[in-house]
A and B are shown apart, each in its own frame.
Chain A
Amino acid sequence: MKKILSFIIGACFLLLLNTGETSAACKNVKIANMNWASAGLMANIDKIVLEKGYGCKVDLIQADTVPAFTSMNEKGSPDIVPELWANSFITPLNKAIKEGRLHRLNKSPITGLGEGWWVTPAFRKKHPEIKTVLDLIKRPDLFPHPEDKSKGGFVTCPAGWACQLSNANLFRAFEMEKKGWKLIDPGSAAGLDGTIAKAAERNQNWVGYYWAPTAIIGKYSLVKLDWGIPFAGKKNWDQCIAKPEKDCANPKPTAWITPAVNTVVTDKFKKNADKTLIKYFEKRTYPGDVMNGMLVYMTENQADGSDAAIEFFKKHESVWGKWVPADIAKKIKKSL
């Protein structure tokens, strides 16, 4: 009995000691870990910085975008969402930020992120003069459709994806059918990836829809096309391009909508956190190619976010070294 008691007391003491060590600000930080690769990696990298650099105690909690935002907005937990795709709930998010419940620390945690039309690097090499979508749609002959060689084939999204609607409407907006194009429905995500892999492996021309950051983009170094025209306004996008064809009578040509992807934290976290830690979140912008490269590493080695985070700290010191003060960087490096 005595033994057990002393054990419990000892354990409590240890616990106390342990918490005494961490600063009061980050005793128990919850970071939302989303189920896609880049978000998982970012959550794990943030965790290492907070734990090893600032001595916080961090829990990663599995969450999905909308539930994470709702819980954060209503309950103040999780404290940090590293990669929040906020397009669908931008109004309540802005309201929460205005009222001071949430803070947007980083407006673009990853550069070059978002959806768009991409081409294979082999194509870019052969035709450096084609830089924009406007240039490209004049040359359907460079992308022969497999089932009708006289037409150009544009690989769109599989049936049922939201982007299929946007692509179909943009296809009409740019009058691509008149110019000799035809949409190719790849049928599934595997089909879409397969067409890219096949074309890129054989240095063939390929044009189609994809999004970054993704391993496929990194693995085959796909090149995103500029649109050659500006974004034609939210009204055109929300009320026409994003709608089924029958609800979008007159689509206007436009660049793809820029996604609102933010790193968002709660007020409680921001108030209590170290100044340099807030600076870290503000500076922490991953260059798109580094992120894509990490995603390739993850798929090739079947690594999860935590393995990949360590690889990131080992390999890309030039990137993360600028995000934190020197002494913190040293601490992180020592812990690896």
Chain B
Amino acid sequence: MEYLLNFPSLGRETLRDFKKSVDSSFKEFSRSHGEGIENFFEPLLQFLVFFEKLLITSPWPIIIILIAYLTWKASQKLSLVIGTVLSFVIIGLFGMWEDTMSTLAIISVATFLCLLLGTPIGIIMAKSNRVSAMMSPVLDTMQTIPTFVYLIPIIMLLGIGKVPGLIAVCIYAIPPIVRLTNLGIREVNSKLIEAGKALGISKFIILYKIEFPLALPSIMTGVNQTIMMSLAMVVIASMIGVSGLGVPILRSISNQYLALGLMNGLAIVALAIIFDRISQHYARRIQKHKDILKK
């Protein structure tokens, strides 16, 4: 009867020993390999520091012009360019320029890194059903596991700062780009690939010239999602010592500074909307090409 009412769990002692052995073996690992892993990421850290400094120390008009230019290049919509410039001016007026630049630095590097890693994984998943079946639960875990569960081991390995922050952001933000690359490539019309094969084109050229361009709209949606999710991680990243808009938000949380929290929160929202619109317009422009092709 007792066994029906209370789940026959492992004994308290057994569980404690289990937890202790997991903890101590991880600590052992961190002690012996931590330094090596840290050195491995050192160039990335230096790049992050350099990039952040570059954004912060460059004169602000240059940054704004650059952003406006990029926005125009990507979207070719004047209203969007004006809106973007206006948002950055307002951010600057409210004294959040430096924090915004820090956030911009880590978000762009994070997005770039996610694309660099995520797209190939997505392509491999599209090519192999087995890899796809294996990766799906991993991606699910990455998206749903509470952040602090992996933050603590990352801190133990790499300490606090930009690199662990970047890794935490990427763990959360990489799944959409992987999934949507996979989806996009799988949805490419098989007749076109057959046509390519019939012409005797190599597999790589098929991927590069047929599949990838046709999957691009879907991949761009992935990029968009990845940017949005990495922006959502800004505050969490600040909890492990990443500078940026998350720091004043944390300060306002612990001191109930209403206005400070709202201002910085809205700055993140502004960044998110700008990134979202730019990447969407870019994707739409690419799609237009596709429509013409169809006709």
Task: Give Cα distance in the complex from A51 to B112, angstroms.
Answer: 65
> Are A194 and B160 in contact, with the CB atoms below 8 A?
yes
Decide if B49 touches A187 in the complex (CB within 8 Å).
Answer: no
User: Are B254 and A160 closer than 8 Å at their CB atoms?
Assistant: yes
B49 close to A160 (CB less than 8 A): no
Q: Is B161 an interface residue (CB 8 A)?
A: yes
B226-256, CB < 8 A from A: 238-243, 246-248, 250-255
The answer to whether A185 has its CB under 8 Å from any CB of chain B is: yes
What CA separation (Å) do A199 and B248 show in the bound complex? 27
Q: Which of B152, B162, B251, B253 contacts A194 (CB 8 A)?
A: B152
CA distance A199 to B162 in the complex (A): 17
| A191-B30 CB under 8 A given contacts A160-B254, A202-B35 | no
Chain A residues contacting B159 (CB-CB under 8 Å) are 146, 194-195, 198-199
The CA-CA distance from A194 to B152 in the complex, in Å, is 7
CA distance A326 to B151 in the complex (A): 51
Q: B269 at interface (Cβ–Cβ under 8 A)?
A: no
Q: How many residues of chain A have a CB within 8 Å of chain B?
A: 23
Q: Which of A155-203 contact B (CB under 8 A)?
A: 158-161, 184-188, 190-191, 194-195, 197-199, 201-202
> Which A residue's beta carbon lies closest to that of B148?
A190
Q: Which residues of A contact B196 (CB under 8 A)?
A: none
Q: Is the CB of A197 within 8 A of B241?
A: no
| Given contacts A147-B45, A184-B160, A191 and B31 within 8 Å (CB-CB) | no
Q: In this complex, what residue of B is CB-closest to A302?
A: B16
In the assembled complex, A301 has its CB within 8 A of some CB on chain B? yes
Determine the chain A residues whose CB is within 8 A of the CB of B31 once the complex forms: 201-202
Closest A residue to B243 using CB positions: A185
Contact (Cβ within 8 A) A187 B239: yes
User: Taking CB as reference atom, which chain A residue is nearest B27?
Assistant: A201
Q: Is B213 an interface residue (CB 8 A)?
A: no
Residues of B within 8 A of A187 (CB): 160, 238-242, 246-247, 250
Q: Are A201 and B241 in contact (CB under 8 A)?
A: no
Q: Does B155 contact A (CB under 8 A)?
A: yes
B201 at the interface (CB under 8 A from A): no
Chain B CB within 10 Å, residue with most, of A148, A191, A201: A191
Whether A190 contacts B241 by the Cβ 8 Å rule is no
CB-based nearest B residue for A197: B156
Q: Which of A148, A184, A202 contacts B241 (CB 8 A)?
A: A184
B253 lies within 8 A of A160 (CB): yes
Q: Report chain A residues within 8 Å CB of B160.
A: 146, 184, 186-187, 191, 194-195
Contact assessment for B156 and A160 in the assembled complex, using a CB-CB cutoff below 8 Å: no
Q: Which residues of B contact A197 (CB under 8 A)?
A: 155-156
A160 touches B239 (CB 8 A): no
| Across-interface contacts of B252 in A (CB, < 8 A) | 160
Q: Are A198 and B45 in contact (CB under 8 A)?
A: no
Taking a contact as CB atoms closer than 8 A, the residue among A148, A184, A185, A201 that contacts B247 in the complex is A185
B265 lies within 8 A of chain A by Cβ? no
A146 contacts B156, CB within 8 Å? no
Q: Looking across the interface, which residue of chain A has its beta carbon closest to that of B35?
A: A202
Q: Which residues of B contact A146 (CB under 8 A)?
A: 45, 159-161
Known contacts A198-B34, A301-B16, A159 near B248 by CB under 8 Å: yes
B240-A159 in contact (CB<8A): no
- A300 to B24, alpha carbons, bound, how many Å? 12
Complex Cα distance, B255 from A158, in Å, reads 12
Q: Across the interface, do B254 and A161 meet the contact criterion of CB distance under 8 Å?
A: yes
Q: Specify which chain B residues have a CB less than 8 angstroms from the CB of A159 in the assembled complex.
A: 238, 247-248, 250-251, 254
Q: How far, in Å, is A189 (CB) from chain B's closest CB?
A: 9
* B239 engages A188 (CB within 8 Å): yes
CB proximity of B105 to chain A, nearest CB, Å: 12
Interface pair B250/A201, CB less than 8 Å apart: no
> When the two chains form their complex, are residues A158 and B152 in contact, meaning their CB atoms are under 8 A apart?
no
> Given A158, A194, A301, which contacts B155 in the complex, CB threshold below 8 Å?
A194
Task: Please give me the residue from chain A that is nearest to B256 by CB atom.
Answer: A160
Q: Which of A147, A186, A202, A301 lies in contact with B30, CB distance below 8 A?
A: A202
A195 touches B254 (CB 8 A): no
A198 adjacent to B254 (CB under 8 Å): no
Contact indicator B152/A190 (Cβ below 8 Å) = yes
Chain A residues near B148 (CB-CB < 8 A): 190
**Complex: how many Å from CA A185 to CA B239?**
9
Given A158-B250, A161-B254, A202-B30, decide whether A191 and B49 contact each other with a Cβ distance below 8 A: no
CA gap between A191 and B236 in the complex, in Å: 11
In the A-B complex, the 4 residue pairs with the closest CB atoms: A194-B155, A160-B254, A160-B251, A188-B239
Given A160-B252, A190-B148, 10 more pairs with CB closer than 8 A: A158-B254, A160-B253, A185-B243, A186-B240, A188-B239, A188-B250, A190-B151, A190-B240, A191-B241, A198-B156
Pairs across A and B, CB under 8 Å, 12 listed: A147-B162, A148-B49, A160-B250, A160-B254, A160-B255, A187-B238, A190-B240, A194-B155, A195-B160, A197-B155, A198-B155, A201-B31
